Amino acid sequence: MSAGRAQAFWLRNLTAKIAAIPMILTSLVIFIGCSIWTVVYSFTSSRSLPVTDFVGFRQYERLFGAHRWSLAVENIAIYGVLTLVFALTVGFILAALLDQKIRFESIFRTIFLYPYAMSFIVTGVVWQWMFNPGLGIQHFVRQLGFENFTFDLISNRNTVIYAIAIAGIWQITGFAMVLMLAGLRAVDDQIWKASRVDGIPAWKTYVMIIIPMMRGVFVTSLVIIAAGIVKLYDLVVAMTNGGPGFASDVPAMYVYNWLFERANLGHAMAASTMMLLTVLIIMVPWFYMEYGRKNKN
Amino acid sequence: MNSIEIRDLVLRFGKTTVLQDLDLDIEQGEFLVLLGSSGCGKSTLLNCIAGLLEVSEGQIFINGRNVTWEEPKDRGIGMVFQSYALYPQMTVKGNLSFGLKNAGASKEEIEKRIKNASQMLQIENLLQRKPAELSGGQRQRVAIGRALVRDADVFLFDEPLSNLDAKLRTELRVELKQLHKRLQNTMIYVTHDQIEAMTLADRIAIMKNGFIQQLDSPATIYNRPKNKFVAGFIGSPAMNFLEGTLDCTGEPHFVVGEAKIPLAGYEFSQNLEGKTQSSFGIRPEHIVYGEEAQKAPFNAKVTVDVFEPMGSDTQVWAHVEGQNFRFRIDGRDKIANGDEMLIGFDPACASIFHGETEERI
Amino acid sequence: MKNEPKGPRPRKAFSPGRIMLYSILVVAAIYYALPLYIMIVTSLKGMPEIRMGNIFAPPVEVTFAPWVKAWDSACTGLYCEGLKVGFWNSVKITVPSVIVSIAVASVNGYALVNWKFKGSEFFFAVLIFGSFIPYQVMLYPLVIITRELGIFGSLWAVIFVHTIFGMPLLTLIFRNYFAALPEELFKAARVDGAGFWGIYWKVLVPMATPIFVVAVILQVTGIWNDFLFGIVFAGQPNFPMTVQLNNIVNTTQGIKEYNVNMAATMLTAMVPLVIYFVSGRFFVRGIAAGAVKG
Ligand SMILES: Nc1ncnc2c1ncn2[C@@H]1O[C@H](COP(=O)(O)OP(=O)(O)OP(=O)(O)O)[C@@H](O)[C@H]1O
Ligand SMILES: [Mg+2]
């Protein structure tokens, strides 16, 4: 290749590189750079403005000592486990039911999925209204004659997180169902034929053959939903704004609060670093599995 | 007693009819091949026999028992699929035993059958592996094993070899033939590979658009195809057809343009008189050339249009009376475009088809 | 012979299994549809009826006053201008954000597939990984960056942030789509002398209409539904609809007007819901496209 052509080639590729600058900047400056910035400043005593006065693990000590933070962590753990378990199992069951050559399948699918199209704020506001002790579901059941019926999750400190979980699960299940349905449809129908010839009942085929085959779909759904759970913020804002007291606080809200309302950057950064750490613990093994293996092959 | 009887079978998907009034009798121990082009309803027929599809009309008997309404597992069948359809998360042993366990067979019985089947298929050393760790040929052996352990009366195969490469296909084909010899079970085998059909089958059923066109031994199908479709479908390269007129006014002969082909020795299937518009079919491999052609009952001079050397032999394209024509010569013979050649054939090996009905005459 | 099994197996119109199947589905469907139903009926009742009746009861007297009030004069703290301001802010945020983010991401996907350069896959991996990092981790640094760029508290900041956080998923689906196109198309255009942009505009964009539709739907719903970036970056006058909705509903002043709240909620949910009901197929495809990694 002559020098001129080599240069022309290089120049043409240059356009591509220039076009990719937004991506390069985003990945380096925002995703890597900002994360590192946050981690670094979590070791400082920054208050309303970032300062480089390093104080070691002081912020973390305070964080782990804070009752509010442990409440937030406990809440997100409860919410996370409930959401994952219910979204995945109910999502799979609904998908399996819809896969039985149902009439009006698309109507059912549309109904199960529409919550996912709405904002968490909308979901939160609606469920807040339904949980309203004075006029909501509790009121309705009492009107039916069950005077002592209580369904007052939302204003009780011990149960408020379950109210939020109910709303969150309601919104996300359709998403899980769609992924599961796609997974079920991707199963070779000769597998089904083989199991019928073998005389395996349908439920057993699901449990012993189909679900193990769909491991990948389950893992992917789990990772995507889990990543969403860590970000949980809007729903809590709309439903309870963290209340009563701090009873429904979650890490994302905690960080927001210390960033913008209490102006204690160092502390907020320590909290967000903990969030980052959690995500890394979930993500790195999965990422390694998905991409590491593929690159080897 | 027939192993399988199918009476007036109709199968519709919604409004489209895939199988129409199909009747089929298969003898005990017979190896029947269903052959036809893609979409003609072979798999559909096989699935009906297996009970995986519910028939729209008609009846199916297996070993004299009416199984039309029975579940696949109760029909005494084993089935092997094109994509193997092994249960991917189970070991080979798990795959073989799953159906048996589910049917409540005893541990010893399961062990015994697995041992038997795996010996027969030479997969004993693979029993602890997962399907993903097997080659295509091994997978298909396991799939056959899964049918084998069911101790079925009838085996159904839906294109079991078409996912394998050519070499493995040949190997497994021979193994299947040996297996059939040993087991003496009835087998129904779907394929669209005519070599497989010719080599494996006791009888071949040629299908088109949901109808069985001809059901006969491979030799009969090859030598005396019932209609023009079967004639063109079987054989590679395909049969030559010369359009012309069959003249039975005197000594029967076939007229193509200027040429007259005498039909001494041709076995007529129909008694026709007068002249009939028809096609004269002759297989490329039945055409002789050179000295032999001079001795043949009919011969003609042709000009070579194109030739395709294939190693062992060379395919030559020429034309007779303006119609395209193909034959094979020895690969060692020298040939050039535009060469004149004398070719000939024996009309006794030919097939003549009616111009309108396309039935054999 | 008459009773001999023949033809299809006789079946009761509804076997117990099928009845159970449909019952479960119907119950589940009612559960999932209920909140939408309650939203609509509450928004059509007057306050007295709400206090007297129950939330499941359909309105006795249908009134659209709550809708008018929610749109025109509901109060968010000090201001009583209704949701219309938020609606137009959301439009002003969504339209440019969708255009910019899709433009950038489609070029990314194209470069990743057809103009691989050293490290391009690395940047992509970081991008995908980045999509799982909680926003809170990058929130404050982004505030600093937008402040330094002089756009903090303006529509530009929100557009900027949406472009960044929309990039991973969009790049992924464009990359996968372009990778599935035959490479010969690209090579032929290159032999014809087309350059980077020529190929992009003349070959890829015309072929990628369906994936652009998917991307638009994904982004419109995603950005319309966003709350966090709106409240942090847009600045008070530019608050999107979700933020205003939250302010209206959760304002501590005055008596609660649940019918107005629900009307406001319906108004906020309207745009994504209409998109979803009209183009559900593309919506589902967007979900599936986002879930298939690699
Ligand atoms: N579930 C179905 N619904 C509607 N039509 C179908 C269905 N299954 C098959 N068909 C149609 O029935 C016809 C026969 O299909 P079948 O699978 O039996 O073909 P085949 O002979 O096995 O072809 P191949 O060699 O490609 O496997 C085809 O035209 C096909 O389109
Ligand atoms: Mg088939």
Answer yes or no: is pLDDT of C210 > 80.
yes
Q: How much is the mean pLDDT over chain C?
A: 87
Q: Convert the pLDDT of each residue in A127-176 to its tens digit.
A: 999 998 888 888 888 888 887 877 888 888 889 999 999 999 999 999 99
- Decide if C72 is inside a domain: no
Ligand 1 — pocket residues by CB below 6 A? B 13, 16, 18, 36, 38-44, 192
Same domain, C129 and C90: yes
DSSP annotation of B239 reads P
Distances (CA, A) of B293 to B67, B217, B299: 57, 30, 6
Query: How confident is the model at residue A7, as a pLDDT?
Result: 57
Q: Convert the pLDDT of each residue in A35-94 to its tens digit.
A: 999 999 998 888 888 877 788 888 888 888 888 999 999 999 999 999 999 999 999 999
**Stretch C227-243: mean pLDDT:** 91
Compute the distance from residue B170 Cα to the ligand 2 centre, in Å. Answer: 20
Closest C-alpha to A231, from C130, C50, C108, C168: C130
Burial (CB < 10 A; 0-12, 13-18, 19+), residue A59, is: buried
The shortest C-alpha distance from A246 to chain C (Å) reads: 16
Tell me which amino acid residue C284 is.
V
Compute the distance from residue B63 Cα to the ligand 1 centre, in Å. Answer: 27
Same domain, C149 and C233: yes
Does the domain formed by B233-354 have CATH 3.20.20.70?
no
Q: Convert the pLDDT of each residue in C1-37 to its tens digit.
A: 446 788 788 777 778 888 999 999 999 999 999 999 9
Same domain, C191 and C58: no
Q: How many CA atoms, within 13 angstroms, populate the side-chain half-sphere of residue A255?
A: 26
pLDDT band at B192 (very low <50, low <70, confident <90, very high): confident
Q: Which of A22, A100, A129 sits opposite C258 (nearest CB)?
A: A129
Q: Does A281 touch chain B (CB under 8 A)?
A: no
Q: Tokens 């998109």, residue?
A: C275
pLDDT band at C115 (very low <50, low <70, confident <90, very high): confident
Contact B346, B308 (CB under 8 A): no
How many domains, chain A? 1
Same domain, C236 and C172: yes
- Decide if A240 is inside a domain: yes
Q: Convert the pLDDT of each residue in B20-53 to its tens digit.
A: 889 999 999 999 999 998 889 999 999 999 999 9
Structure tokens of B312? 């062992």
Answer yes or no: is pLDDT of A3 > 60.
no
- Chain C touching partners, 3 or more CB pairs below 8 A: A, B
Contact C215, C290 (CB under 8 A): no
Q: Convert the pLDDT of each residue in C269-283 to its tens digit.
A: 999 999 999 988 888
Same domain, C166 and C227: yes
Q: At what angle do helices C155-180 and C120-130 cross, to 10 degrees?
A: 120
Q: The domain spanning residue C156 has which CATH number?
A: 1.10.3720.10
Q: Which of B56, B66, B67 sits opposite C8 (nearest CB)?
A: B56
**3-state SS assignment for residue B282:** strand
Contact B22, B5 (CB under 8 A): no
Query: How confident is the model at residue C122, as a pLDDT?
Result: 86
User: Residue B215 belongs to what H/E stretch?
Assistant: strand B211-216
The shortest C-alpha distance from C64 to chain A (Å) reads: 19
**Looking at ligand 1, which residue's alpha carbon is closest to its atom 19?**
B39
Which residue among B43, B48, B194, B209 has the greatest number of ligand 1 atoms within 8 angstroms of its CB, and so is best to mutate?
Answer: B43
- Decide if A244 is inside a domain: yes
Structure tokens of C106? 């489609």
Which residues on C lie below 8 Å from B56 (Cβ)?
Answer: 7-8
Contact B344, B300 (CB under 8 A): yes
- Decide if A48 is inside a domain: no
Answer yes or no: is pLDDT of B98 > 70.
yes
Q: Does B102 touch chain A (CB under 8 A)?
A: yes
- Decide if C71 is inside a domain: no
Beta strand pairing status for B154-158 and B186-191? parallel
Compute the distance from residue B148 Cα to the ligand 1 centre, in Å. Answer: 27
> What domain range includes position C39?
16-63
For the ranges A223-232, B149-158, B193-202, C46-55, which has the lowest average pLDDT? Answer: C46-55
Answer yes or no: is pLDDT of A1 > 50.
no
- Taking one residue from B and the other from C, the number of pairs with CB-CB distance under 8 angstroms is 24
**Stretch A291-295: mean pLDDT:** 59
How many residues does this entry show for chain C? Answer: 294
Q: Convert the pLDDT of each residue in C176-195 to its tens digit.
A: 888 888 888 888 888 888 88
Compute the distance from residue B39 Cα to the ligand 2 centre, in Å. Answer: 7
Q: At what angle do helices C16-43 and A160-185 cross, to 10 degrees?
A: 130
The shortest C-alpha distance from A77 to chain C (Å) reads: 16
Compute the distance from residue B13 Cα to the ligand 1 centre, in Å. Answer: 9
Query: How confident is the model at residue C8, as a pLDDT?
Result: 81
- State CA A120 to chain mean position distance: 12
Compute the distance from residue B263 Cα to the ligand 2 centre, in Å. Answer: 41
How many domains, chain C? 2
Tell me which amino acid residue C126 is.
V
How many residues does this entry show for chain A? Answer: 297
Backbone angles phi, psi at B359, to 5 degrees: -80, 155
- Maximum Cα–Cα distance across chain A: 92
- Decide if A291 is inside a domain: yes
Q: How much is the mean pLDDT over chain B?
A: 89
Mark which residues 40-99 of B lie under 8 Å from C by CB. Answer: 54-59, 66-69
Query: How confident is the model at residue C74, as a pLDDT?
Result: 80
- Maximum Cα–Cα distance across chain C: 91
Q: Give the mutation candidate from B13, B66, B69 for the C interface (greatest C CB count, under 10 A).
A: B69
- Decide if C7 is inside a domain: no
Q: Convert the pLDDT of each residue in C41-94 to its tens digit.
A: 999 988 888 888 788 888 888 888 888 888 888 887 777 888 888 999 999 999
Same domain, C48 and C147: no
Structure tokens of B252? 């029967």
Cα separation of B246 and B354, whole Å? Answer: 9
Q: Which of A121, A275, A290 sits opposite C245 (nearest CB)?
A: A121
Q: Which of C167, C227, C273 sits opposite A26 (nearest CB)?
A: C167
Q: The domain spanning residue A231 has which CATH number?
A: 1.10.3720.10
Query: How confident is the model at residue B128, as a pLDDT?
Result: 92
Compute the distance from residue B73 Cα to the ligand 2 centre, in Å. Answer: 21
- Decide if C77 is inside a domain: no
Beta strand pairing status for B31-36 and B186-191? parallel
Q: What is the number of the ligand 1 atom nearest to the C-alpha of B37? A: 25
B54/C5 CB distance under 8 A: no
Contact B243, B71 (CB under 8 A): no
Q: What is the number of the ligand 1 atom nearest to the C-alpha of B82? A: 27
Query: How confident is the model at residue A63, as a pLDDT?
Result: 87
The shortest C-alpha distance from C50 to chain B (Å) reads: 51
Backbone angles phi, psi at A221, to 5 degrees: -60, -45
Q: b/e map of C172-194 (b: 16 or more CB within 10 Å)?
A: bbbbbbbeeeeeeebeebbeeeb
Q: How many helices (H) and strands (E) does chain B have?
A: 9, 20
Query: How confident is the model at residue C294, as a pLDDT?
Result: 40
Same domain, C109 and C59: no
- Decide if C11 is inside a domain: no
In sequence order, which residues have a C-beta less than 8 Å from that of residue A277 and are 6 or more positions away? none
Which residue among B42, B190, B211 has the greatest number of ligand 1 atoms within 8 angstroms of its CB, and so is best to mutate?
Answer: B42
Which residue among B10, B17, B40 has the greatest number of ligand 1 atoms within 8 angstroms of its CB, and so is best to mutate?
Answer: B40
pLDDT band at A296 (very low <50, low <70, confident <90, very high): very low
- Decide if C3 is inside a domain: no
Same domain, C144 and C233: yes
**Stretch A243-271: mean pLDDT:** 89
Which residues on A lie below 8 Å from C249 (Cβ)?
Answer: 125, 128, 238
Question: Domain locations in chain B?
Answer: 2-232, 233-354
Q: The domain at B2-232 falls in which architecture?
A: 3-Layer(aba) Sandwich (3.40)
Mark which residues 233-292 of C lie under 8 Å from A by CB. Answer: 242, 245-246, 249-250, 258, 261-262, 265, 268-269, 272-273, 275-277, 280, 283-284, 287-288, 290-291
Distances (CA, A) of C33 to A218, A263, B183, C38, C264: 26, 42, 59, 9, 19
> What domain range includes position A168?
67-296
